[in-house]
Structure 1
């Protein structure tokens, strides 16, 4: 599924709506590598910089994030694969393609991509992305 324009130009409180179209066809995305085989392609801003961003993020199949939290709200749309989250109640919630979830700031959890297929997400925040390791319960 090619979905480079599923949610471009989402305005947040800190990101005013653009005055011109934002166009990000899949074949023009500039993918960059992160640790663990994760890749991202910025649409607006910079996921690893400061300030608001909107980006596609791809996790390898079978990838598991350690127990962590984010200092800001993190909305995500799952475009392919099956992403998951495990909250402190121990329940594993699966998010197949077409799912949306919003993690409140400071919520401890584990997350990752189920085996079988890479997970492609669209994420955006009103300030920079972070992943703060936490002790698991």
Structure 2
């Protein structure tokens, strides 16, 4: 009986070791602040205002579930655009006015949360005084598609 208990224990340990060898390693925890000098800020799409920058916080922007910081200069406007993905946003600094088509303008202040459905055109304006830093979580790959504005016919 003692031999069968030891055999059972050894088999359980071997099974546990094999399972842990096959299971992926957990992701490391991370913490970022908008002022972190280790953040790598890159350029925004051309249609966004000069001085705009994006930093990837987590994930791959070409894949699902990426998180980014978007930084806008004070007193700048974001032209009409939409995203393939829904976006979940929290304003970190500044004051941002966001208008989704068919909705009233929302004024975001630090700590404000906003949700934007996929493919819903919207505009934004960073108020004077302080740069706006916005945390955005995308469900699908990160993109921003400018809305073509028709020129008035004279």
Same fold (TM over 0.5): yes
Where does residue 20 of structure 1 map in the other structure? 28
Is 1:45 matched up with 2:59? Answer: yes
Q: Which of 1 and 2 has higher RCO (CA within 8 Å, sep 6+)?
A: 1
Where does residue 138 of structure 2 map in the other structure? 125
- 1: CA distance, partners of 2:74 / 2:28: 36
With normalisation by structure 1, the TM-score equals 0.73
Q: Is the partner of 2:37 in helix, strand or coil?
A: helix
Where does residue 40 of structure 2 map in the other structure? 30
| Structure having the higher Rg | 2
- Return 5+ residue gaps in structure 1 as ranges: 1-17
Q: Which one has the bigger helix percentage?
A: 2
Is 1:113 matched up with 2:126? Answer: yes
| Number of aligned residue pairs | 119
With normalisation by structure 2, the TM-score equals 0.66
